[in-house]
Amino acid sequence: MSILVNKSSKVLIQGFTGTEGSFHTGQMIEYGTQVGGGVTPGKGGTTHLDRPVFNTVAEGVKATGANVSIIFVPPAFAADAIMEAAEAGIELVVCITEGIPVQDMVKAKNYLLGKNTRLIGPNCPGVITAGQCKVGIMPGFVFIPGRIGIVSKSGTLTYEAADQVAKAGLGISTAVGIGGDPIIGTTTRDAMELFMNDPNTDAIVMIGEIGGRMEAEAAHWIKQQGNKKPVVGFIAGQTAPPGRRMGHAGAIVGGADDTAAAKMKIMSECGIHVVSSPADIGKKMAEVLGI
Catalytic residues: 248
Specify the length of the chain in residues.
291
User: Which secondary-structure segment (H or E) carries 277?
Assistant: none
Q: How many whole angstroms separate alpha carbon 194 and alpha carbon 263? A: 22
Strands (E), the chain: 10-14, 34-39, 47-48, 51-54, 68-71, 92-95, 118-120, 126-129, 133-136, 145-152, 172-177, 203-209, 231-236, 273-274
Q: How many whole angstroms separate alpha carbon 173 and alpha carbon 279? A: 20
Q: How many whole angstroms separate alpha carbon 291 and alpha carbon 249? A: 38
Helix, coil or strand: residue 213: coil
Q: How many whole angstroms separate alpha carbon 246 and alpha carbon 232? A: 23
Which residues, in sequence order, are CB contacts of 191 under 8 Å at separation 6+? 3, 151, 176, 178
DSSP code of residue 241 = P
Q: How many whole angstroms separate alpha carbon 215 and alpha carbon 131? A: 28
